[in-house]
Structure 1
Amino acid sequence: MKYIYLIFFSCIILNCKKTESEKLSADAIINSSINVSGSDKVDSSVIDFDFRDRHYSAQRHKGKFSLMRLTIEAGKDSILDVLSNKGFDRYLNGKEAIFVEDSMKVKYSASVNSVHYFSVLPYGLNDKAVNKILLGDTEIKGENYYTIKVTFDQDGGGEDYQDVFLYWINKETFKADYLAYSYEEEDGFGIRFREAYNERYVKDIRFVDYKNYTPNAVSVALSDLPKLFENGGLKLLSKIELENVQVN
């Protein structure tokens, strides 16, 4: 009889160890999210879309990139901002790059990069400067989510390397349905919570729009935002809607 008990408890121990070993890491979860979102195709693509009366275009190929924003002003002047591996340039009415002060280059670069960054998430979350930590599971609207914290190294993390992100990855679909981030700017500190909606695939790449929320107080922890969201404690600031998305 004692041998039966030994076999029984041995099975329990082995199963526990197996369960522990099968737990996914933050890297594995992000890799799965990139896979189901088709984000692995972004690195060899040309993506165009319109956002808030401006046209955006991104060309990426094996680590090289050119992120563009075209603005047509009321006076019919066209301003083309280009952020690439070489830096930032601005063109006026199709002419050669015009002089831009360094302080403004930083501002324009961050603005262009931000729109392109959010447009193709979770692409970019495997960059060398990205640090990922798996936190506890979270339930949002009855769905279970992995919680991934993302921070950035100063070297290679860009001007906004101090920003902190949380991504909620659906445990069944591995899609990034929600995200939140804290940021610092000249005018202060801010927090945002985003809910993805209007999912569509263009050339096998997933694109979503976002409802952009903020809490009433900036002292709120990012991890508390899902509960505030469900309880109506967040204010809808805007909608992030990409139009006329094309992929080549």
Structure 2
Amino acid sequence: MKYLLVLCCIVTLLRCDQKSAKYLSAQDVIDKSIEASGGAKFDSSIIEFDFRDKHYYAERNQGTFKLVRTFKDSTRKITDFLTNKGFERHENNKPVKVPDSMLSRYSASVNSVHYFSVLPYGLNDAAVNKVLLEEKNIKNKAYYIVKVTFNQDGGGEDFEDVFVYWINQESFKVDYLAYSYNETDGTGFRFREAYNERYINGLRFVDYNNYKPKQSKLSVSQLDELFEKGELELLSKIELKNINVD
């Protein structure tokens, strides 16, 4: 009788574990993914890196942030600042007036690179909506798939963009992501494959192979199928260099 009771307890615990794993919500998956990538360390951090011909600097402190982009043209050093208070541009270390028509474009350009550099951090912002899609396998690995949309209020200039994240069921790391965005002639799509993973002072960084589909009439969540079939075109590589974390 004693052994039977122990066996019943083990079976019950296994069923509970299976149930809890099976019924993870989109929020649960994102929380675990953020934790696997550095978690709360992002909240109080200074991150610097180079991307293509520009230098990026991000300072985050429990909800306040300063995102910076610095680059040079033929005659000027241009520094863009995006903070909780808004956007500001300096040329040769002096503030300049930015036309209202360009403010949102410059802000989105600065934010976009910083946003991708620390994913999945940022996916718990108030303007983010998350839905768990049907699980799939890519290259014989099982993935949770989370679809992300944004509220217009707080979602930025590109709030209509749709993102999908393929999160490894064992490691809870984002191995693939895709997004759709509005173009003048329709909807554009991108699919990114993470590689060159490294942890710097406890924070995870990756580079990406950046793909585009050869067809236009599809859903962003279908891009993984085209990737597995080899039907995506490699467009570019997204590489972060000279990363420093404090």
What TM-score do you get using the length of structure 1 for normalisation?
Answer: 0.90
Partner of 1:84: 83
Partner letter of residue 40 of structure 1? A
Contact persistence 1:72–1:78 (CA under 8 A): yes
Matched residue, 1:124: 122
Question: What's the CA shift for 1:187?
Answer: 5.5
CA distance in 1, matches of 2:241, 2:122: 21
**In 2 relative to 1, CA 157–199 (structure 1 residues): closer, same or farther, beyond 3 Å?**
same
The TM-score with structure 2 as length reference comes to 0.91
Q: Show the counterpart of 2:163.
A: 165
Aligned length in residues: 236
* Cα distance in 2, alignment partners of residues 14 and 141 from structure 1: 31
Q: Is the CA contact (8 Å cut-off) linking 1:50 and 1:244 kept in structure 2?
A: yes
Which residue is equivalent to 1:141? 139
Superposed CA offset, 1:136-179 (max 9, x none)? 11111111100001011111111111110100000011000000
Please tell me whether residue 189 in structure 1 is matched to residue 182 in structure 2: no
SS in 2 for 1:90: strand
CA displacement, residues 50-90 of structure 1 (integer Å, 9 cap, x when unaligned) = 00111000011111111100011233x20001111111110
Alpha-carbon distance in 1 for matches of 2:64, 2:221: 34
1:179 aligns with 2:177: yes
Deviation of 1:230 (Å): 1.2
Q: Which runs of 5+ in 1 are unaligned?
A: 1-11
- CA deviations 1:175-221 (Å, max 9, x no partner) are 00000000114464210000000000000000000111010122111
Mark the runs of 5 or more structure 2 residues left unpaired by the alignment: 1-10
- Give the Cα–Cα distance (whole angstroms) in 2 for the partners of residues 222 and 140 of structure 1: 15
Equivalent residue letter for 2:88: D
> Residue 61 of structure 1 corresponds to which residue in structure 2?
61
Amino acid at match of 2:115: Y
User: Which digits, 9 at most, give the CA deviation of each residue in 1:2-24, with x for residues without a partner?
Assistant: xxxxxxxxxx9998787445521
Query: How much has 1:103 moved relative to structure 2?
Result: 1.4
Contact 1:190 1:218 in 2 (8 A): yes
* Structure 1 consecutive aligned stretches of length 4 or more whose deviation exceeds 3 Å: 12-22, 185-188
Alignment-derived partner of residue 27 in structure 1: 27
Quote the RMSD (CA, aligned, Å): 1.9
Q: Give the alignment of 1:34-73 within 5 angstroms.
A: 34-73=34-73
Q: SS in structure 2 opposite 1:198?
A: strand
- The answer (yes or no) to whether the contact 1:146–1:171 under 8 Å persists in 2 is yes
Q: 2:7 maps to which residue?
A: none
> 2 CA distance for matches of 1:168 and 1:51?
24
Residue identity opposite 1:141 in structure 2 = K
| CA pair 17-53 structure 1, distance change in 2 beyond 3 A | closer
